[in-house]
Amino acid sequence: MDGGNLFMSAWQRPTDFDLTPHLETLEAMIEMERVLAAEERQRASLLHKPLDRPPVIITQQNDCQPTNQSLSLPDWPAISYRQAFRSPQHLLVHELQQVYEGLLLGDDRIYSVGVNFGAAIGPSMFGCEIVQFKDDLPQVIPLEVDDVGLALIRGGVPDLNAGLGVRVWETLDQWQAWLAPYPRLSQAIHLEMPEVLGPFELAGHIIGKDIFTWVVDDPELLHDVLQVMTDTCIAIASRFRAQTAAPANIHYRHGCRIPASAHIQDTLAGQMTGQMYRRFAARYNAQISAALGNVSIAFCVPNERVFRQLSATSGVTVIQCGEDIGPHFDTCLQAARERTNGLIWSWTTQRSLPEVTTGVIHKVIAPDWPTARRLAGQPGE
């Protein structure tokens, strides 16, 4: 049984979970003037326009961690990711907790929700088994077939409804229908693009650790596989944009409005040298950018040389970075400025924010709700 079908029966099972009170709560709290002001501040900062301060998002959710726990929030249901993974209603309320968090804190986030299955969506379309435990995001079991590289090349772009795909597309339609009766929610809450892994990242999840051996021992085979991965990434992003009527050159992700048509996860490729990254990652990311218009890239590896190659990739507009490369912030910001790339930078409360006013969206990761309120300038409870 492939990973995409593993929980299909549970996903389709009717549930008596009532969304209405939670949607009504958010509808009453949203102020469109604040929403538009946050969107404009983010837009200006990522274009390096003059500002009095950069946009700041304060959250308990660390996007670079493999867990997706319910947040500690007053008067919001605590839904485990294990529940959310098995029900579109529970998953929506689980995603909406970050909207509620932002409304309570009054920070600069944009409101968005995504069918968050982590890195599992693309690999599941190729037949990888998917497993999910506790509050962890789904994990991918690499394919165990003979001549996996040749099999991937011969198979080409997979059926986008295979594996977890059908759940993604049907859930997006259902969420739009559930939000539609609420004027403020339907205007202020944006749908996030499913996780489009970079071609190297996608291949790595499907093939496993052997991908780094192929870089040296069979580079031509790897290039052929990466071309299939590239075409698949373009197909997934294009399907989402067509289905949701997404605006041109804009997508929304984890509280951010990003001036790009798609988002690429490229952490695995960041473990290579700068030269290898250029050969096996940057060229394929540039293809995605050329096909779609432009891209943003998530990069959570402390590799300054690869960061420079990444920022110089044609069509990259925004780079999302994790706490692990915090010590390189000044160098990375300078490299981004040279290419007019915007940065989305995650920080823990152990670090002070750099004194810059534009070019970046700061995401401050709070360990708990009282700390989040303190960082937002709210009095203690």
Whole-angstrom distance, CA of residue 175 vs CA of residue 242: 16
Whole-angstrom distance, CA of residue 373 vs CA of residue 232: 42
Taking only the tens place, the pLDDT of each residue in 349-379 is 767 778 899 999 999 999 999 999 999 998 7
In a domain, 156, yes or no: yes
Q: What is the pTM of this model?
A: 0.92
In a domain, 140, yes or no: yes
Give the pLDDT confidence score for residue 2 in this predicted structure.
39
In a domain, 350, yes or no: yes
Longest dimension (CA), the chain: 61
Give the pLDDT confidence score for residue 22 in this predicted structure.
97
Name the nearest CA neighbour of 267 among 341, 363, 198, 348.
Answer: 198
Mean per-residue pLDDT of the chain: 90
SS3 347: strand
Structure tokens of 324?
């692990």
DSSP secondary structure letter of residue 197: B
In a domain, 311, yes or no: yes
Look at 133 and 6; give whichever has higher pLDDT.
133
The mean pLDDT value for 228-243 works out to 97
Percent of the chain with pLDDT over 90: 71
In a domain, 19, yes or no: no
Whole-angstrom distance, CA of residue 128 vs CA of residue 141: 6
**Alpha helices, DSSP H, located in the chain:** 8-12, 20-29, 32-46, 81-84, 88-105, 121-125, 148-155, 165-179, 183-188, 199-207, 211-217, 219-244, 274-277, 283-292, 304-311, 329-339, 369-375
The mean pLDDT value for 284-293 works out to 96
In a domain, 294, yes or no: yes
The residues, any chain, with a CB within 8 Å of residue 38's CB and separated by 6 or more, are 55, 107, 108, 109, 110
In a domain, 299, yes or no: yes
3-state SS, one letter per residue, for 86-104 = CCHHHHHHHHHHHHHHHHH
In a domain, 9, yes or no: no
Q: Please report how the helices 219-244 and 148-155 are oriented relative to each other, as an axis angle in degrees rounded to 10.
A: 40
State the Cα torsion 219-300-256-71 to the nearest 10°. 130
Structure tokens of 260?
């790009």
Contact predicate 153/224, CB 8 Å = yes
Give the pLDDT confidence score for residue 340 in this predicted structure.
85
Number of compact structural domains in the chain = 1
Residue with tokens 């992003």: 237
**CATH code of the domain covering residue 223:** 3.20.20.210
Q: Domain range for residue 352?
A: 42-375
